[in-house]
Chain A
Amino acid sequence: MAVDPQKPRKILVVHGVQMGANEDLCQDAMIRDLIKSRIGDIPLNFECDLFKYENIEDDALKKYNQLISLLVKNPIGSAVGKAVLDIVGDVVLSLQDGSCANKIRSGLKKKILETYDAGNPCYIVAHSLGSIYALDVLNNLIGQGGLFDRSSRKTWPIQGLLTIGSPIGLGMFRKGRASVSPLGPGEKWFRWLNIWDPNDPVVSGEIFGNYLVGNRIAEKYVSADTNHGWVIRDIVTDTGKTWLMAHTAYWQTAVVGDKLVDMVTA
């Protein structure tokens, strides 16, 4: 199998922590609109798709939801409890690294390899917790061998990774992810752009969205090893919003669209 650069580019979106169910998710449409709003007269043939895993997490949290229904009789309290469980539970499931997290990673890997088998150049846009899963799968694909030959991008199931609002700088997610899989010898470079707002509390871990000083999160993964093969950039970005609003503003931020256009056309 090989990627055909003439085929439409596939932009696979991986969502982050969510409330609701798979049916409620539309981040692929948001990325499609964002690219269209920034592409101008560039003749780019592309498709957007979304890897949804909210139902896998909801299934794993079902028993806790039932417990809340039993314990909290007040409808408002029950709704609030379930919403909090939906959000916090997603993070806990990821950190536990159990069967649920493995199921999500397997599903994402399958989706990427299906795109690879179809020959479409694939680019990942991963938001928030989705960036952790995307990075895990990417490292796994590089590590398994037979793919990601550095002398030919046509052997790459993923051509570039763009993460937005990623918590990868936080200790709890960094644990067990101290490095990225090296690609080996060759002349091609795999791109990882990490876009984040300095007031995004999910990126900084600051609950009130205090300004995060410094410019390096993903760039801590840069290696001087010539066989590393990753070119990694942090792009600290003003989304125009602060605090929790900043975490959900990337989908409408022109810089995200422009950097995506830049990546997908190269």
Chain B
Amino acid sequence: MRNFATCAIFFLTVSLTGCINSLYQAETAALDTAGNERNFILYWTNTEPWIGTSKAGPAVLLTECSSARPAFVNTDDGIIFFGLMGYDQLPDQSGLNSGRLLCGKIENYTHLREIRAGSISVTMRCKPTADDFSVGNKTYLAPRPEPYVLKVLEKERQWSFLGKSLAAPLAPECRSNGR
């Protein structure tokens, strides 16, 4: 009886906590918002529990020589990087308003958990702002009319009983601080 109870507790716990963890990464080289040629890494994780719904994201954009870390989040309208009023700026927006700043979007998917391999199409529209409190460069992928196309790689995939916070890539090494 005791063995049965132990087994039952074990299987209940594992069924609630067991999962497969994956790390995805996409890289590119392009101009940043300050006009410097930079390397960029976009990463996100995906967790598939043994029971229940998969979850993924957000996708964080790492920029060479920059402390900015914009995040593309899953929303009802797709995978979107919403800028922060006062900290990001649309090129044609001089003032502030109460609406959200739609600063970027992964155009060819609706949820990060759908992306397993292939390419993603990323549009960027904003520039970060800086003030007395800014430390380091505040830059990210430059806005441009056509989307950036990034190849997605599955960097890691493993299962575990208790789940795992996978080690994410570091921002690309800073080669020069640029202009």
**Which residues of A are in contact with B by a Cβ distance under 8 Å?**
5, 9, 38-44, 121, 153-154, 159, 187-189, 191, 197-199, 208-211, 215, 223-226, 228, 231, 233-243, 245-246, 249, 252-255, 258-259, 261-262, 264-266
Q: Which residues between 9 and 63 of chain B lie within 8 Å of chain A, taking CB atoms? A: 16-17, 19, 21, 43-47, 49, 52-53, 55-58, 60, 62
CB–CB B57/A236 < 8 A: yes
Is A239 within 8 A of B135, CB to CB? no
Contacts of B109 in A (CB 8 A): none
Q: 28 A-B residue contacts at CB 8 Å? A: A5-B132, A38-B170, A40-B170, A41-B174, A42-B135, A42-B136, A154-B132, A189-B85, A189-B86, A197-B55, A198-B53, A208-B16, A211-B53, A228-B98, A236-B55, A236-B57, A239-B165, A241-B19, A241-B163, A243-B17, A245-B17, A249-B163, A254-B43, A261-B69, A262-B67, A262-B70, A266-B67, A266-B134
B71 to chain A minimum Cβ distance, whole angstroms, is 6
Alpha-carbon distance between A252 and B21 when the two chains are bound, in angstroms: 15
Q: Find out whether the CB atom of B69 lies under 8 angstroms from the CB atom of A240.
A: no
Contact of A261 among B47, B53, B65, B67 (CB under 8 A): B67
CB neighbours of A210 from chain B (8 A): 52
A8 to B41 Cα, complex, angstroms: 28
Given A199-B49, A215-B74, A242-B19, also A236-B134 (CB < 8 A): no
Question: Are B71 and A235 within 8 A (Cβ)?
Answer: yes
Q: B68 at the A/B interface (Cβ < 8 Å)? A: yes
Inter-chain contacts of B82 with A (CB < 8 A) = 233
The residue from B19, B49, B57, B68 contacting A262, defined by CB atoms under 8 A apart = B68
Q: What chain B residues lie within 8 Å of A199 (beta carbons)? A: 49, 52, 55
Contacts of B46 in A (CB 8 A): 238
Given contacts A226-B98, A254-B168, are A238 and B45 in contact (CB under 8 A)? Answer: yes
Which residues from chain B sit less than 8 Å from chain A, CB to CB?
16-17, 19, 21, 43-47, 49, 52-53, 55-58, 60, 62, 65, 67-71, 73-76, 82, 84-87, 96, 98, 128, 130-136, 138, 162-168, 170-171, 173-174
Cα-based distance from A241 to B55 in the complex (angstroms):
10
Q: Is the CB of A242 within 8 A of B67?
A: no
The secondary structure that dominates the A interface is: loop
Chain A residue with Cβ nearest B162: A245
What 9 pairs between A and B have smallest CB-CB spacing?
Answer: A241-B163, A254-B168, A189-B86, A265-B67, A262-B69, A211-B53, A265-B135, A258-B69, A252-B165
B residues less than 8 Å from A208 (CB atoms): 16
Is the pair B69, A237 in contact by a Cβ cutoff of 8 Å? Answer: no
B10 to chain A, nearest CB (A): 14
**Complex: chain A residue closest to B76, CB-CB:** A215
Q: A189-B86, A237-B58, A258-B60 are in contact. Are A153 and B133 (CB under 8 A)?
A: yes
CB distance from B8 to the nearest CB of A (A): 15
| A153 to B134 Cα, complex, angstroms | 12
B163 to A44, Cβ gap below 8 A? no
User: Is A153 in contact with B131, judged by CB distance below 8 angstroms?
Assistant: yes
The answer to whether B87 and A44 have CB atoms under 8 Å apart is no
> With contacts A265-B136, A266-B67 known, what are 7 further pairs, Cβ within 8 A?
A5-B132, A211-B53, A240-B21, A241-B47, A245-B163, A259-B60, A266-B134
